[in-house]
Amino acid sequence: MSELELTRQRFEDLKCCVIIPTYNNDRTLERVIREVGLYTENIIIVNDGSTDGTAEILRSFPNYSVITNPKNKGKGYSLKTAFRHAIGLGYRYAITIDSDSQHYPEDLPKFLEKITQSDGLLVIGARSMSQDGVPATSSFGHRFSIFWFRVETGQRIPDVQSGYRLYPLDNLKGMRFVGGKYEFEVEVLVRLAWRGVCIDSIPVRVWYAPKEERVSHFRKFRDFTRVSIVNTILVILAIVWVKPLKFVREVRKKTLRKFIKDYIIDSSDSNFKIAVSVALGAFCGVIPIWGFQMLAAFGVAYALKLNKFVTVAISNISVPPVLPVILFLSYITGGLVLGFPEHSVKYDPGINLHWFKTNLLQYLFGSVVFGIILGIVLGAIAWILLRVFRRSPPRIQPPA
């Protein structure tokens, strides 16, 4: 069996298709389709409201799936539409390739080889940005996107903007995306990374037409602004939600004995720092920020360079059957602070707004004060126990 026949068989065995989104690229579209057709018949073409000769060209390929958007919706919208169509046809993977001849279909077998070695990957065709003819704006955008992707996911990959990709379609099922244009390719990459999808890359060739022949639908100011806004949102979500939740899940996987050994006994933190981490966790676990206690504990511990694992673990203190006790003691403490001698809720058949405000205020004040008291007490107990049962970590000597 020839290499070409082997590739065509792999497309079938792996249930992989090729998606070609296109918009006003009639000069190169036919060549791209014919070259891809050498490797597979599993082709989905999305005509995104083209106003040139694209429709006529597509009539020459009746054996391929063609999706037509009556109006131009953007690359992201076209890809989302094609993904849904491919999933409906039973495909497990989809390779996206641009219709402007920038990508070489000869690189298609590389993608298949990669997922043959490791199932479920998202594979990016990484371009060499050091070759001749690369536009200055593309080079800047390349470095810009790599930096922000690393901030958002903690991963470093050689090319974030390449449209030559292989997507595992099973991981896209049920996902909803905000981006509809070029920013979609950033969003989908980051969110799949957050889902735990492994991302790998392969080197691919890329061709940039001479400046006078180049056709680009990327609107420098408008589309770059959209990409920047999406990156900003993703960075915020990564900091305040995704990373803390990932951190919490890792903590919860630990058994109590292993947790104490890894994050307390063998920790490089001082006894005092661990004790302060316990106090902070207790305070965050008591104050009434339900649903955000662990996130707040993580964020403050991170900012103060405390032991994040200990802080987050202790912040789980408000769980049944302890929670009713904490609520009651917070309310009683509030009564003491505000000078209410009865320290309790009186039944009043005529409950009104004043009654509600008084009792709520008593609880809110009490929870903060009780949280401070409990934090100090537990922190002090932790420090004493650590002093008795744990040796202080060895100090790192500065180089001579």
Task: Give the CATH number, domain containing residue 157.
Answer: 3.90.550.10
What's the pLDDT at 400?
44
Token representation of residue 170: 């099973």
In a domain, 398, yes or no: no
Q: How far apart are CA 230 and CA 302, in angstroms?
A: 25
**What averages of pLDDT result for each successive group of 10 residues across the chain (400 residues)?**
91 97 94 96 96 95 96 93 97 96 94 92 86 56 80 89 94 88 89 94 83 54 72 79 72 70 83 94 89 82 89 82 84 84 51 64 89 94 90 53
Residue 264: other Cβ atoms inside 10 A:
22
Q: pTM of the prediction?
A: 0.66
Q: How far apart are CA 311 and CA 281, in angstroms?
A: 4
Q: How far apart are CA 59 and CA 72, in angstroms?
A: 19
What's the pLDDT at 217?
55
In a domain, 246, yes or no: no
In a domain, 399, yes or no: no
The CA–CA distances, whole Å, from 362 to 37, 290, 330, 347, 355 equal 73, 17, 8, 16, 11
What's the pLDDT at 257?
75
What's the pLDDT at 279?
95
Report the domain count for the chain. Answer: 2
Residues 68 and 183 in one domain: yes
The residues, any chain, with a CB within 8 Å of residue 149's CB and separated by 6 or more, are 155, 156, 157, 160, 186, 189, 190, 193
Burial class, 316, CB count within 10 angstroms (exposed 0-12 / middle 13-18 / buried 19+): middle
Question: Strands, DSSP E only, in the chain?
Answer: 16-22, 43-48, 65-69, 93-96, 122-126, 165-168, 199-203
Residues 198 and 277 in one domain: no
The residues, any chain, with a CB within 8 Å of residue 79's CB and separated by 6 or more, are 19, 21, 46, 96, 184, 185, 188
The CA–CA distances, whole Å, from 228 to 145, 187, 224, 231 equal 9, 11, 6, 5
**φ, ψ dihedrals at 92, nearest 5°:** -100, -25
Residue where a domain terminates, one of 212, 241, 270: 241
- H or E element at residue 204: none
Residue where a domain terminates, one of 241, 263, 289: 241
Residues 105 and 156 in one domain: yes
In a domain, 394, yes or no: no
Amino acid at 380: A
Residues 94 and 206 in one domain: yes
Amino acid at 7: T
Burial class, 171, CB count within 10 angstroms (exposed 0-12 / middle 13-18 / buried 19+): middle
Residues 229 and 260 in one domain: no
Residues 40 and 170 in one domain: yes
Residues 231 and 311 in one domain: no
What's the pLDDT at 197?
95
Q: Which of 99, 101, 91 is nearest to 41 (CA)?
A: 91
In a domain, 395, yes or no: no
Q: At what angle do helices 75-88 and 184-194 cross, to 10 degrees?
A: 50
Residues 22 and 163 in one domain: yes
Q: Which of 93, 107, 245 is nearest to 169 (CA)?
A: 93
What's the pLDDT at 268?
86
Provide the 8-state DSSP code for 397: P
In a domain, 49, yes or no: yes
Residues 12 and 152 in one domain: yes
- Which residue segment(s) compose the domain that 320 sits in? 254-389
Cβ burial 124-147 (10 Å sphere, 16+ → b, else e) = bbbbebeeeeeeeebeebbebbbe
Residues 224 and 276 in one domain: no
Residues 212 and 266 in one domain: no
Residue where a domain terminates, one of 181, 216, 241: 241
Residues 261 and 236 in one domain: no
In a domain, 309, yes or no: yes
Q: Which of 356, 354, 360 is nearest to 338 (CA)?
A: 360
In a domain, 177, yes or no: yes
